[in-house]
Amino acid sequence: VVLLLLLSCTGGNYSSNSVTLIAHAGGAVGGEVMTNSLEALHAAHNNGYRYIELDLNFTSDSILVAVHDWAEYNESMGMEERGDSAPTLAFFMSNPLPSGHTPLSADGINQFFLTYDNLHFVTDKISDPDVLERFFPDLKERMVVEAFNYDHYSALIDRGFEYVTYSCLAEDIPSATMKHIVFSWLFPGKKIERLALHTSAFDYLYMKFLLSISEFEISLFTVNNLYEIPEAASQGLKFIYTDSMLP
């Protein structure tokens, strides 16, 4: 029986109308993707996205800005010698992004999303509820957050964030999912009912086993073609992160 469970995975029919697309890293703008820029936000809104994701990282003076990672940023700015060191907020905001677009600080992110009350802010880099509440106090009821440990997952739900999902990149995901779903009657705490999964996650026996014995709402990243969606993800699929697919 265990072998059959390990080899099986949840099937189902996928409908493009049954899920919501998330503009990945701001979405595409001017032929560029993953810019995390102000122009990308406006393009995503104009293209009909209502959920827009930005990557968040701290500057050296502890302010959140939209950037995928500092090593990539420094290299693209011709500053390879800085490695993954973060610049100051003043430097980051006073220089165009490598794409030539406008950089975003937490203040700019707040200003944009508070301008459009039909938009939802998605982030998958930082899940500390104290940090997110401090920088985005008026957005949490419209925030989708990918949690990277169980304490964050539980606290984000308790504090009223719109939608909290558990990251497949979390170090404790095997123990967390088994404790709070399969053996929930033995362990107190919130069940993990939502997973954020990379398409490659479905290549692993553990994930196939987990999906075969329990149902989850799935956020899938990053997909630019419907044929890239694993069959095992089709049942329960709620969000798709995309660079180029349009709502």
What pLDDT, in 10s, does the model give residues 182-228? Answer: 888 899 889 999 999 999 999 988 888 888 888 899 999 999 998 99
Determine the 3-state secondary structure of 114 from DSSP: helix
- Identify the pLDDT of residue 207: 87
Would you say 200 and 220 are in contact if contact means Cβ atoms under 8 Å apart?
A: no
What ranges in 57-198 are assigned the alpha helix state H?
Answer: 70-76, 89-94, 106-115, 129-135, 150-158, 173-177
Q: Map residue 39 onto helix, strand or coil.
A: helix
Determine the pLDDT at residue 15. 45
Burial of 13 per CB tally in 10 Å (0-12, 13-18, 19+) = exposed
pLDDT digits (tens, 9 = 90+) for 65-112: 999 999 999 999 999 999 999 999 999 999 999 999 999 999 999 999
Angle, CA of 51, 54 and 55, to the nearest 5°? 145
Strands 56-58 and 64-66, how do they pair? antiparallel
Query: What pTM was estimated for this model as a whole?
Result: 0.91
Q: Are 136 and 110 in contact (CB under 8 A)?
A: yes
Strand, helix or coil at 210? helix
